[in-house]
Structure formats: C-alpha cells, structure tokens
C-alpha cells in the first residue's frame, strides 16, 4: 500500500513513546477541530435515513457554493476507490507528484497509469486527475485553466481536499459540467478525519452511478449529524480559514530560522526544502513531533500546522535545538 | 434502489408523526443496543491507524471464533458492494428470497443474476450467495450442507448478518477455505446500525484483494473504538442472545392472538403470514409502529423485536386493537 502521513504507528515503532505524547504534523488535518458536541442516540442506533443523507448533501452544496449533484462518501478516499469503476478500463493521467492513492487505486483496478508534471500532458486521458491546491507542493491551478482542459479529456477529476480555505480556486460551482468530477474532503479542514466523510460532485449521471456503487448507507449516522452541523457553520469556517492562513505564515517564519525554504503549501500544510528530510524528520521525532517525508524527493519535509500554543512552543524548541 | 426496512421516512410521509414517536420494527436491528460509552477525541480527530484496525480485526476474529483473514468494512453492505469486483463478470446465483441488495448490486455491475429457492441450483455459479440464517424467512442451513456445496461453485458467499445469536450455524471458523467468503454485520446484533461496521472473512488472497478495493481507512474511528469494545464483551453478547431468543418467542405469542402464523425468523426478527400484510402494516402504523412488507409475498409481515417494556405494551395494544 502507498505510504501516508498520519501513520503515527511508524513513529512509535521507530522512536518510542505513547501516541498521545506525540504531535502529529505528518498530515494536513486541522489540529483545532470542529467541536463534536452532543450526538443523539439515533446516530448510533438507526440506519441513516435517505432524508438525513439528503440534508447532509444540501449542507455540503451550500458550503461548497454549488447546486451540482453530490454524494457523501466514507471519506474522500472512498470516492477515489470507486473512480476506476465509473468507466471501462482505459488510460488515466495523473498530474504528479500528488496524493499517491490515485496511481495505486487505478493500477490495482487494471488501468494504464501515466504520471506527468505537465498539465497539458493530461490531454486525451480517459480520466485525468489533479489536486487543487496540490498535495504535497501546494501548486494551484486557476479554474479557467482547468475548464480549458475539460473538453480535451474523457473525465477530469479535481481533488479539492485542501481547498476549503481558498474557495476561489474551487470548481465545485461548475461540477455539473459534463466530464467534471470534484472531490471534497470533510475531515481535513474540520479536523475530524476519524469521522470518515467526503463528497464527490459531478453531473447527474456520474453521481447516480457512484451512488449505486457506494450503496444505500455510504456514511455513518455520526458523519451525517456532525457533518451537517459543521458544514452549515460558516462563521467557524471563516474564522478557521483566517487562522490557518495566519498560522501557515507563522510556520514558514519558524522553519526559516533553520534555513529550510518553502516549496509551497496550502492553509492546511506547508512543504519545505530541508536539504536532508530524513535528518530533519529525525530531529523533530526526537522531540516527538511527527512529519512527512517523500521517497521521491529527498529534501522535502511536509508539516501540518500545530494546534494550540503548547504545540507551537514545542515545535519552536525542536526547531531551534 | 431496492426497498429496505429501516426507512422510517416512508412511514412518516404516509402516516405522519415525528420519527422519535415511532417504534421502528421494520428492521432486524436490536433495539436494546450496546452502550456506546465515552469516546476518546482521537476517534474523531485522527485517521484510523493500521494498528487500531488490526486490534478491531482481532476482536472480531475472537467474537466470531475464527483465525481466518478478515476485513472491517463500512457496514456489511460495503463488502457486498465490492463482491462483483472480486472476479471478472460472470454468473451469480442467489438463494432467494433473501436480502435484495445482492441481486441489485451484481446486476448493476453487469453480472448475470439467477435467483433460485433451491440450494442445489447454486451449483456451477461463479459466485453463489446465500444468507444463513436467512432474511426474511429465517431458513437455516447446516454448515455441513454448505461445505458440501463449496467445491461446486467458484466462490460461496455466506451472509451471516443475523447469525450472532446462533453461533453453531456459522462458517466463520472455516472461512479460510478456498472460495468461501463470510459476511458479518456488527450493527444489527449490537443495535448500532448507524455506526456502519461489518466484516468479511475469507482466504488470504480474497481478503487482500478486498482490502485493496476498500482502501486504507475503510471504517471510522468510532466504529473501531466501539466495535472493539463490544465484540470483546462476550458477557453482553451471551445475555443479549438469550434475551433475543426469549423475546422472539414472546413476539410469536403476541401475534398468534391476531391469528398470524410464524413463517420463520431469527433471534433478531420474525416473519409472519398475516393474510394481508399491507392491511396488517397499516393497522400497526396507525399506532406508530413500523413494519416490513414484501412486494413478492402479499401475506408476509416482518417484525423486529420491541426494545423496552413500553414498546412491548404499545405493540400488544396495537395488535389487540
């Protein structure tokens, strides 16, 4: 299976300690999560009802500024797992480097996978995949650029897992266009990755096909309840976006003292050129701070943003040690 | 989409009232659920770790009395959704009547679907599917009968969603046999259908293939936490099994007064011949008790078991009205 951030197991095996003592910055999951609050027992005891799922869909459409057909999935990952089954096997082209599950999932399903760093090279793909803003390097594509590519591919999948704080980048408002599919992650921006909630938006036929594949109860009662509340809380979202953008710049400042340079990032994570990322990772790990390195780029270290002030102080100390 | 029990939306539309005023007996979900208890914040905030998923798998293996490879899924339904993708399209034969998602899911994936009421007619299928004990009629198959069928089919899928209280029927201990796949539901017996947790057991190659299809985070943090606790609580399971069996007989007695006869059942639901199930359903619905009818058998009414004594009293009154 592909390597992922968010796997503290590896850190514990290599560096010891207890999970709760570590600060896990190996992901882009917001460490100041949306408050879960009280949950009604029906969340647990009953099958999710079609009307509850519809309400969740409406909340997500509102949050993402779109009226396009939408499907809630067991994390954005679940939508990725079904993508290769939307069409007969063909050629998928992936704008790389990016989230490594795309190549793995399409390969496992028997597709011909090409990875390219050039947007124009996605043309003629049966399915073209890109992430906007991109993970891990934060690269951004203007909606107009992507709309120009759309007629040149069978389907264009735009993964907007890290787009919550930069809504101007989002193609969700246009997701109804033929061939366009937009993925959204709930858990990263809202800091609730364990809930497993994501969405896919697109035209009616594709979303209907995906809904058949995902089955009648694609998400949990808790995901519906918490997701609906959180997505409608625009005040929280705006305050969080502002804080994340501020904190990203603060992190850039902190690491600059170590001589690391910013490669790019999103409001949820930053990617730095460190010269030797394994060494940098080990240094932070000795202070029980976990980070993400990349086998294909030896200098790159990706850091999520610390949560509360205690975490900032610990990171700062680890960086200046 | 196929019709399901557990859809109170329909009852509310037709008969009014608020969901919380209804007693939903249209499913086989235990109405005295396992207590959810306190959940650590990491359930919500972090991606489920491989080690936590492994612990859940071990708890399920222990509960199901097996060492066979196992995969936790987003409800047993999620495993059903992936079954047609385990092999190239072929012929699936389904012992019917049964849970109607099997035919729907295989048809949607382009398989040739045959339904038969004769176990022997499953022979020569690429995939044969049966539910044991069966939903909705409670029909039981001895493990030896099913093991005799196994060499005559490509794969044999045994859905044991209602087998928790009758472990002697289970083939989970033999799930490692080539071609055998066992599905287990967590939510029905433990009364936590909203959690979305199920399992599929089989040989190493099939479970590995399903794990690739399900992706790295197939279940939520809450499902892992609550599922692990509940599956290891054998005391609760034994007391619950005993109560369910007792309550099933009590329900049979109650409805006998109305002249309905038992077709069959499991400890989680009972199927009755009522003469006119739509009429019977309406009578109960006027007392805000929801039940399940079947378009293919006009007399059949399926009832789950009432939960607390208040619910029994309401059902009894509705039946004698």
Q: What is the pLDDT of residue A1?
A: 65
State what percent of residues in chain A have pLDDT above 90: 97
A195 touches chain B (CB under 8 A): yes
Task: Name the token pair of A227.
Answer: 């997701």
Note which residues in 78-117 of chain A have CB less than 8 A from chain B: 78, 80-81, 85, 101, 105, 108
Distance (Å) from the C-alpha of residue A193 to the closest C-alpha of chain B?
5
User: Best interface-test mutation with A: which of B7, B27, B44 has the largest number of A CBs within 10 A?
Assistant: B44
A42 touches chain B (CB under 8 A): yes
**Average of per-residue pLDDT values in chain A:** 97
ipTM above 0.85, yes or no: yes
| Residue B91 backbone class (left: φ over 0; alpha: ψ -120 to 50; beta: rest) | beta
Nearest residue on chain B to A5, alpha-carbon basis: B47
Nearest residue on chain B to A109, alpha-carbon basis: B213
Nearest CB among A75, A85, A221 relative to B217 is that of A75
User: Best interface-test mutation with B: which of A49, A185, A194 has the largest number of B CBs within 10 A?
Assistant: A194
Note which residues in 235-274 of chain A have CB less than 8 A from chain B: none
Going by pLDDT thresholds of 50, 70 and 90, the confidence category of residue A49 is: very high
A71 touches chain B (CB under 8 A): no
A229 or A3, which is more confident: A229
B1 touches chain A (CB under 8 A): yes
Q: How many CB pairs under 8 A join A and B?
A: 158
Chunked mean pLDDT (size 10), chain B, 321 residues: 83 94 96 96 95 97 98 98 96 97 97 97 98 98 98 98 97 98 98 98 98 97 98 98 98 94 98 97 97 96 98 96 79
What average pLDDT does this structure show over A160-177?
Answer: 97
Task: Name the token pair of A74.
Answer: 């067991």
Q: What are the tens digits of pLDDT across the range A14-33?
A: 999 999 999 999 999 999 99
**Cis peptide preceding A136, ω within 30 of 0:** yes
Q: What are the tens digits of pLDDT across the range A80-138?
A: 999 999 999 999 999 999 999 999 999 999 999 999 999 999 999 999 999 999 999 99
B228 touches chain A (CB under 8 A): no
Q: What is the pLDDT of residue B1?
A: 65
Nearest residue on chain B to A196, alpha-carbon basis: B220
Q: What are the tens digits of pLDDT across the range A237-288?
A: 999 999 999 999 999 999 998 999 999 999 999 999 999 999 999 999 999 9
Sheet of A261-266, strand order: A261-266, A269-273, A297-304, A292-294
Residue A236 backbone dihedrals phi, psi, to 5 degrees: -60, -45
How far apart are alpha carbons B226 and B235 in whole angstroms?
A: 16
Q: What is the pLDDT of residue B195?
A: 98
């Amino acid at each position: 299976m592909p390597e992922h951030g968010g796997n503290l197991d590896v850190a514990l095996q290599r560096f010891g300690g207890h999970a709760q003592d570590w600060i896990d910055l190996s992901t882009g999951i917001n460490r100041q999560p949306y408050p879960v609050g009280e949950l009604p027992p029906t969340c647990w005891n009953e099958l999710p009802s079609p009307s509850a799922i519809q309400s969740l869909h409406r909340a997500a459409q509102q949050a993402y500024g779109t009226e396009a057909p939408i499907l809630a999935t067991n994390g954005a990952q679940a939508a990725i797992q079904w993508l290769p089954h939307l069409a007969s096997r063909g050629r998928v082209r992936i704008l790389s480097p990016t989230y490594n599950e795309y190549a793995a999932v399409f390969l496992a399903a028997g597709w011909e996978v090409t990875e390219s760093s050039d947007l124009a090279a996605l043309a003629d793909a049966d399915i073209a995949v890109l992430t906007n803003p991109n993970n891990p390097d934060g690269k951004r594509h203007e909606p107009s650029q992507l709309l120009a590519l759309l007629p040149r591919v069978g389907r264009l999948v735009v993964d907007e897992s890290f787009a919550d704080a930069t809504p101007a980048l989002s193609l969700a408002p246009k997701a109804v266009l033929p061939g366009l599919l937009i993925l959204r992650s709930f858990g990263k921006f809202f800091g609730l990755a364990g809930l497993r909630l994501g969405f896919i938006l697109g035209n009616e036929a594709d979303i209907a096909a995906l809904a058949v594949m995902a089955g009648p109860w694609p998400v949990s009662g808790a995901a519906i309840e918490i997701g609906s509340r959180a997505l409608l809380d625009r005040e929280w979202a705006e305050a969080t976006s502002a804080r994340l953008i501020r904190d990203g710049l603060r992190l850039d400042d902190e690491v600059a003292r170590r001589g690391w340079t910013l490669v790019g990032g999103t409001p949820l994570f930053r990617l730095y050129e460190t010269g030797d990322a394994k060494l940098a990772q080990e240094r932070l790990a000795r202070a029980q701070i976990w980070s993400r390195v990349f086998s294909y780029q030896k200098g790159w270290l990706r850091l999520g943003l610390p949560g509360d002030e205690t975490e900032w102080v610990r990171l700062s100390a680890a960086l200046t040690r």
